[in-house]
Structure formats: C-alpha cells, structure tokens
Structure 1
Amino acid sequence: MPTAANPVIELHDAYIMQDVNTVLQKVSFALDKGEFAYLVGRTGSGKSSLLKTIYADLPLGVGAGTVAGFALPRLSSGKVPMLRRKLGIIFQDFQLLFDRTVADNLLFVLNATGWKGKSLKKQRISDVLMRVGLSNAGSKMPHQLSGGEQQRVVIARALLNEPLLLLADEPTGNLDPDVTDSIMRLFMEINNAGTAVLMATHNYQLIKNYPKRVLQCKDGQLLDSTVLPMELSGN
C-alpha cells in the first residue's frame, strides 16, 4: 500500500459492505492531499459503495479508515455532517433544486452548513460561480441552463465549503464529448489548486486524455496502478 505523506483518505484492510454483502474486501489505499485518482470498474463492482463508505453513507464495520481526519469505524451520526463539510460530493444526476434559482441552490447549502452573514454568503456564492465560469448564472433557474452548465453549478456547490476532497460519481456520464472535456479541464484546475479528487468513471477516453492514478474495482478487490500495471478497458 502506498503511504501518503498527508493522506486525505486512508483505508487499511477495509471491507466495503452493501447491506449484508461484501462488495470489496481488504481495501488498502491512501489518497494524498492534492492528489487526483480515477475509480473504475464494471457496473456493480463496488465503485459507488466505496464512495458512499468514504462519505459515511455506508458504515465501515471491518478494517480501519480515516477521511479528512475523521475515523470511519464507529463514526457517530452527529459527526457525519462535520465530515461532509470537509468534502465536496458531485453526482451524475446533478440533484439540483429546480424550484429555485442557481444562487438560491447554493444559498441552501450555505445555510445548511452553518454560514452566517448575508453579505458573506452572497460573496461566497459569487466566488464559486466565477470559479466555474458562470458569473452571470446566479439569477437563472436550473432548467434555463444546459447540461454542462448544470454540472458546473453542481461543482460550484461542491466547492462552497472549500473542501479538502472532491468525490465525483460519474460526473460526465450524461454529457457530450465537448462538454465533458470542458468539465474535465475544470476538475484539473481545481486539483492543481490543491483539492484532492477521487472520480468514478466509465469513460476510459478521459483517462487517456488526462492520465492520472487509477484505482480499479475488480473481482472484489481494489487494484492500484501505482502498485501494479493494469490493462484498462470498458469490459
């Protein structure tokens, strides 16, 4: 197992469970602060379950693990929101609130995570929209935006609390190739600025175009390209 100097994720002999079923066993890896890694594997191989374990939607019952300084085993329900404030979570299906503007979508998150001060919240919303190239989108409704623009809003939402780590589950799965490329360039900019990224994807062309470390879920194991070379394909 590679040892990271400043790990934002560190799992050792972890068993990733879905209900009573073990989907991955003896998972050991570390992701350093500011590192980027892809998470690949067939549908049902454990990618989403691993991500859910990392952000404490699924419990870690066997093995050791820390994420952003929080120990996953026996993590109390009261500490789960504290952990998630250190994370940005990005989904393929956006999960935006379509009954309110882009700015109000972001304000909802700031209110939910304890931000105080109207002017401070307004400035933070402006900052993250500018960062993702949507400075003029705050007053728009989500349905007025393209799919790529909606995904940029989702990324902006994930950046609100200046996370140590972005967890992205198939963030380009519903986007056409040109839009996918622009979203990937944005992820690379965010990563180059110091935020760690763990991205689940089925798009192997992305990995060829933007080569980074690869973690592969296969046959109940997690394989690491920094430990063993691997042949990647869509199979």
Structure 2
Amino acid sequence: MTEPVVELREATITQEARAVLEGVSFELDKGEFAYLVGRTGSGKSSLLKTLYADLPLGAGSGAVAGFALGRLPQGKVPYLRRRLGIVFQDFQLLGDRTVADNLHFVLNATGWRGKAKRQQRVQEVLTQVGLSNVGNRLPHRLSGGEQQRVVIARALLNEPLVLLADEPTGNLDPEVATEIMELFREINHAGTAILMATHNFQLLDKYPHRVLTCRDGQLLDSAAR
C-alpha cells in the first residue's frame, strides 16, 4: 500500500471564519484522478485552498504530500507547495514577462540553482505540454488554450506528487477543453495524482473518474462503500 498524497480526516473547511464543509474525510492515492464538483459557493475552491495551505485547516486533521496541514508552520508552506502543482482558471501569468521568464521565476523562487539546469527544465515542461516553441512570447500573444498549457507547464516544474486544478477548462471552448483534458490524462498516466474542480459535466461523462461532490456542507464520495 502506498501512502496517500492527500488525506483528510473529519476536517472542517472554512472560508472567512465560516465553516463551508464539515466532517470531510477522503484520501487521494498516488497516481489517482478525482473530480471535485458542486454548486458555486459549495466549498470546492475553499477545499483546494486548504490543501495548498492558502486557508487554515479547521477541525480535524489532514496531510498533503507528507506535510501535516493542521500544524504546518507558515515557513514550511513554500516547501509544501514545491510538492504540488496548482492550476488556476484565470492563469495568473505575469504579463510583462515571456513564457520562459514566467517559468524561470518559479524555478528561482523554489530554489533551483544553475542557469543551464533551469533552462533545461523550462524546455522540458514546455515540450511536455506541446509548446516547445513559445518560450520567447509574451502570454497575451497566446490563445487561451495555450496560456492554460503554460500554466500547466508551470505547475509541473517541480515534478509534483499531486496536481490541484481549479476549473482549468472554465474559460475555454469545448474543443480546447478536450485538449486540456487529454493533457491531464497524459500527466496522470505518468504517475501524477490529479484533483480537479469543475462544472463541466460533459468532461465527467467523457473521462469518467471518481467524483467528490460538495453538497449541503458535506463531501460525498462516489468511491465510498
């Protein structure tokens, strides 16, 4: 048995000091794929933010990539995030820097030393997401789908154990959303666990996986026995 990359036990998920989910218990194993669904305001984003330590864990216990959330000192948060990949709906790319410089910024921030080593890693992840020739472009010169691929490349820089994706296809048309899902499938098959929040139930039908549903303050698990 492998140790789960995400584990919550009777956890309370809070937003602005208000409990949005209570009694949350689930595990995500290495290499597993799960969807996170629910209505707007049901707690999906708050749950993801708790997992990457942007929001504090309320009651209960939790661990992500070997880091205990309940007693995680603020100084250890960057180390946790180096084990994670985070994909946002709104890209959050630095508009005044090239694609390559956006990726170098992350490598510098997470302690990579050696220019040649950083350049090699940037080219590796851009190639992995099918964008080997866009390193010198500014983000606004790319399509929405290409920008999301850059965001995914950024998330892969530190070879994460788990990818947390918050509505990664929310701003994309259906054809491009399918392309992004195919990319996620490749990443998942290579061994990275993925927890993906989405409203797109067509993707759930086309790419069936375990589903975690936020509803009425609870987290319901399609895999529960």
**Counterpart in the other structure of 1:153:** 150
The runs of 5 or more residues in structure 1 that have no matched partner are 229-235
Q: Residue deviations 1:64-84, cap 9 Å, x none?
A: 111000000021000100000
Give the 5 Å matches for 1:180-195: 180-195=177-192
Distance 2:72 2:214 in 1: 25
Distance 2:49 2:91 in 1: 16
Q: Could you tell me the TM-score, scaled by structure 1's length?
A: 0.94
**Counterpart in the other structure of 1:220:** 217
- SS of residue matched to 2:179: helix
- SS of residue matched to 1:154: helix
**Counterpart in the other structure of 2:168:** 171
Q: Could you tell me the TM-score, scaled by structure 2's length?
A: 0.99
**Counterpart in the other structure of 2:67:** 70
Of 1, 14, 18, the match for 1:17:
14
- SS of residue matched to 1:14: strand
Q: Residue deviations 1:191-217, cap 9 Å, x none?
A: 000000000000000000000000000
Of all paired residues, the percent bearing the same amino acid is: 73
**Counterpart in the other structure of 1:211:** 208
Distance 2:77 2:115 in 1: 26
Aligned residue pair count: 225
Give the 5 Å matches for 1:43-122: 43-122=40-119
**Counterpart in the other structure of 2:132:** 135
**Counterpart in the other structure of 2:159:** 162
Distance 1:70 1:111 in 2: 22
Distance 2:17 2:163 in 1: 28
Q: Residue deviations 1:99-131, cap 9 Å, x none?
A: 010000000000000000000000000000000
Which ranges of 4 or more aligned residues in structure 1 deviate by more than 2 Å? none
The runs of 5 or more residues in structure 2 that have no matched partner are none
Distance 1:145 1:25 in 2: 41
**Counterpart in the other structure of 1:232:** none
Distance 1:20 1:106 in 2: 34
- Please tell me whether residue 37 in structure 1 is matched to residue 37 in structure 2: no
For 1:204, give the aligned amino acid: F
How far apart are residue 6 of structure 1 and its match? 2.3
How far apart are residue 20 of structure 1 and its match? 1.8
